C-alpha cells in the first residue's frame, strides 16, 4: 500500500516535470489560421523537406523562417528540422556536409559561387538538463576539448551546455529553442504550422518571450543574451518588444559571457552588426543597459555610434543589407577603429616620421590594443589593413598610380571608405568625386581624366606668383642708376634698355637678406601628401 502511494507520487511528479509546463501542448494550425503565403517559401528548402519525407522521416521548416513567414516577410535563410540523424540526412543529398562538434548539423548546398544557397538541417534534440548530462566539465569549449571527447551531452558547473548531440522528439526539440516565436514548425506540403509554446499568439501580440525560465536559459548558453538583443533590434521595427521576464535577467547574466570563447563572441558581434539592423542593435544595447561589458570591441562600437563617421558606416551597412548588397565585417570595423588609426598616424607624422611607415606602425598598434588575436591576424585583419593603407594613395593621382590602385582587389572597399570620409567632411569631396568617375570609366576615359587633372594642376601652378629674390633698397650709384636698374641687372634683364654696354656695367655685390626673401611664397609649393 505504501509502495503504491509512493509510486503514485513519483508518477505525478514525473508527469508534472515532463508534462505541459516543460514541453507545452502540441497545436496544429492550418492555412486558415496562419495565412502563410506559399509563394514566400524557398523552393530548395521545400525540396529538402520533400526529400526527407519521401525517405520516411519527419521534416519541417523551422525557426526564424517560420516567424518571418507568419509576419508576411520573405525569409533570407531557411532551416529544416528532422528526426533523421546527420548521417542519414547526408546520405540523401549529393552535396551535403556534416559540420560542427558542439552541435552537429548538416549543410545541404544548392548552386555554386555567389549564387549558392545553404539549407541548414538539424536533428531534433532531446531535452537535457544538468542531471542527465554525461558529466560536469570545468572550463569552456576551448579549454575542455579533451574532456569533451566522446561525450554526447556535457555541461559545465554553471549549467552552460558545452556539447549537445543527443537526439529526441519534436516536442523536446521545441522546448530547447530560445524564443517562442522561433519554436514553430511549418510543413510546406500540408501547410500546417506546429506550435508547442504559443508562438503564434506571441507573434500576433508582437511579444518576444523566452521559453522557460529566462535566467536558466541564459546560463545554458550565455550567447542567448546577444541573440535577445539581436532579435529585439530586428523585430523592433515591426512593433515587437521583449517580455519583461525575458529582459530582466539580461544585465545580471552578462557576467556569464566572460567564460565564452572570444572567437564565438566575435562571431555573434558580427551577426549583431551585419544583419541589416546595426543602428537598432546599438539602440537596443543602450536601452537594455548592455552598452558595456559584453565584448570590448562591441563596447567601442556603442561608444562611437553617434560619431558622424561611425554613424554613417552603420547606416550604410544597414542600407546595403536592405538592398541585397554584400557587406564585409572588415569594412565596418575599419570605420569604427579609424579614429584610433588616424590619431596614431598624426602623432607619428608630428614627430617627423615618413607617412607610410608611420601609418603601418599606427595600424599595428591598433590591432594589438583593440583586436588582439581574434581574427585580427587573419583575412579580416589583412583586409582592414589594406583599406587603411589605400587612403594616402588616393591623394596621388599622377602617373600610373591611379591605374595600379584601381586594380587592387580591395579597391572598392578602399574607395567606399574614402567616400564616407568625404561625406562627413573629413576630406575634400572633389577627391572622392574624381575617384568615383575614374572607377566607372573605361581605359580611354581614365587616361583623359588623368590628363585633365595634370593640365589643371599645371594651370594652377602657372597662376601662382613667380618666386622673386628681393634686394634691399640702395642709394643711386655714381652713374645715376636707380634701384630698379640694379634689380634688373641682378636678374639678367633690361640689357636692351640700358644705354651703357653690359661689359662696362658695374655690378654691386648683394647684401645678405637674412631669409631669402621667401615671404608669402610658400603657397606655391604643392604638398606631396606625406605630411
Which residues fall within 8 angstroms of residue 507, CB to CB, at 6 or more apart?
489
Three-class SS of residue 265?
helix
Edge-to-edge strand list for the sheet holding 59-62: 27-29, 192-195, 184-187, 59-62, 79-82, 117-123, 105-110, 96-99
Q: What angle do CA 126, 131, 135 make, to 5 degrees?
A: 90
Judging by beta carbons within 10 Å of its beta carbon (0-12, 13-18, 19+), is residue 334 exposed, middle or buried? buried
List the end-to-end C-alpha distance of the chain, in Å, as a whole number.
Answer: 95
- The rounded distance, in Å, linking the Cα atoms of 89 and 96 is 8
* Catalytic center residues: 77, 79, 178
User: Residue holding cell 562611437?
Assistant: 304
Q: Are strands 153-156 and 136-137 parallel, antiparallel or unpaired?
A: parallel
- The rounded distance, in Å, linking the Cα atoms of 62 and 70 is 12
Q: What angle do CA 447, 449, 454 make, to 5 degrees?
A: 95
DSSP secondary structure, 14-68, as one string: HHHHHSHHHH---EEE-HHHH---GGGS-HHHHHHHHHHHHTT--EEEETHHHHH
**Number of C-beta neighbours around residue 12 at 10 A:** 11
Nearest Cα residue to 158 out of 253, 32, 227, 48: 253
**Number of C-beta neighbours around residue 368 at 10 A:** 11
Beta strands in 204-353 (DSSP E): 207-208, 241-242
**What is the 3-class SS of 433-500, one letter each residue?**
HHHHHHHHCCHHHHHHHHHHHHHHHHHHHHCCCCCCCCCCCCCCCCCCCCHHHHHHHHHCCCCCCCCC
DSSP secondary structure, 391-429, as one string: HHHTT--STTHHHHHHTSTTHHHHHHHHHHHHHTTSS-H
User: Residue holding cell 552541435?
Assistant: 103
Amino acid at each position: 500500500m505504501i509502495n503504491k502511494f509512493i509510486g503514485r507520487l513519483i508518477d505525478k511528479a514525473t508527469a508534472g516535470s515532463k508534462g505541459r509546463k516543460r514541453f507545452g501542448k502540441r497545436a496544429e494550425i492550418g492555412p486558415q489560421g496562419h495565412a502563410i503565403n506559399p509563394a514566400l517559401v524557398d523552393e530548395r528548402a521545400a525540396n529538402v523537406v520533400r526529400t526527407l519525407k519521401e525517405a520516411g522521416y519527419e521534416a519541417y521548416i523551422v525557426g526564424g523562417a517560420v516567424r518571418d513567414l507568419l509576419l508576411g516577410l520573405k525569409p533570407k535563410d531557411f532551416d529544416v528540422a528532422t528526426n533523421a540523424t546527420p548521417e542519414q540526412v547526408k546520405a540523401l543529398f549529393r552535396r551535403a556536409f556534416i559540420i560542427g562538434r558542439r552541435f552537429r548539423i548538416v549543410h545541404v548546398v544548392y548552386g555554386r559561387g555567389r549564387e549558392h544557397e545553404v539549407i541548414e538541417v538539424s536533428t531534433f534534440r532531446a531535452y537535457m538538463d544538468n542531471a542527465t548530462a554525461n558529466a560536469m566539465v570545468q572550463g569552456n569549449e576551448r579549454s575542455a576539448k579533451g574532456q569533451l571527447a566522446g561525450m554526447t551531452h556535457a555541461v559545465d558547473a554553471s549549467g552552460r551546455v558545452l556539447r549537445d548531440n543527443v537526439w529526441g522528439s519534436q516536442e523536446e526539440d521545441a522546448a530547447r529553442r530560445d524564443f517562442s516565436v522561433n519554436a514553430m514548425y511549418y510543413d510546406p506540403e500540408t501547410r500546417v504550422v506546429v506550435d508547442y509554446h504559443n508562438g503564434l499568439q506571441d507573434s500576433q501580440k508582437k511579444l518576444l518571450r523566452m521559453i522557460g525560465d529566462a535566467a536558466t536559459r541564459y546560463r545554458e548558453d550565455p550567447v542567448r543574451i546577444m541573440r535577445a538583443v539581436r532579435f529585439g533590434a530586428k523585430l523592433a521595427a515591426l512593433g515587437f518588444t521583449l517580455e519583461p521576464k525575458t529582459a530582466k535577467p539580461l544585465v545580471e547574466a552578462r557576467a556569464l559571457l566572460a567564460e565564452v570563447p572570444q572567437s564565438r563572441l566575435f562571431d555573434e558581434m558580427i551577426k549583431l552588426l551585419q544583419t541589416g539592423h546595426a543602428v537598432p542593435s546599438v539602440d537596443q544595447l543602450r536601452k537594455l543597459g548592455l552598452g558595456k561589458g559584453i565584448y570590448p570591441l562591441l563596447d567601442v562600437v556603442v561608444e562611437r555610434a553617434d560619431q558622424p563617421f561611425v554613424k554613417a558606416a552603420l547606416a550604410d551597412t544597414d542600407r546595403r543589407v536592405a538592398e541585397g548588397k554584400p557587406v564585409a565585417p572588415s569594412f565596418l570595423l575599419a570605420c569604427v577603429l579609424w579614429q584610433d588609426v588616424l590619431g596614431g598616424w598624426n602623432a607619428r607624422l608630428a614627430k617627423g616620421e615618413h607617412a607610410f611607415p608611420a601609418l603601418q606602425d599606427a595600424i599595428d598598434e591598433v590591432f594589438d590594443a583593440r583586436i588582439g588575436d581574434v581574427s585580427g591576424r587573419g583575412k579580416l585583419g589583412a583586409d582592414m589593413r589594406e583599406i587603411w593603407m589605400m587612403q594616402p594613395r588616393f591623394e596621388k593621382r599622377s602617373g600610373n598610380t591611379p591605374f595600379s590602385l584601381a586594380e587592387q582587389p580591395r579597391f572598392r572597399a578602399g574607395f567606399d571608405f574614402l567616400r564616407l570620409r568625404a561625406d562627413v567632411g573629413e576630406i575634400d569631396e572633389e577627391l572622392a568625386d574624381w575617384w568615383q568617375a575614374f572607377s566607372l570609366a573605361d581605359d580611354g576615359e581614365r587616361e583623359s581624366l588623368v590628363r585633365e587633372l595634370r593640365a589643371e594642376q599645371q594651370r594652377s601652378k602657372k597662376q601662382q606668383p613667380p618666386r622673386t629674390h628681393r634686394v634691399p633698397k640702395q642709394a643711386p650709384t655714381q652713374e645715376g642708376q636707380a634701384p630698379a636698374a640694379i634689380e634688373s641687372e641682378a636678374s639678367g634683364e633690361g640689357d636692351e634698355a640700358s644705354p651703357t654696354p653690359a661689359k662696362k656695367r658695374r655690378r654691386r655685390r648683394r647684401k645678405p637678406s637674412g631669409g631669402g626673401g621667401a615671404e608669402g611664397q610658400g603657397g606655391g609649393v604643392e604638398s606631396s601628401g606625406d605630411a
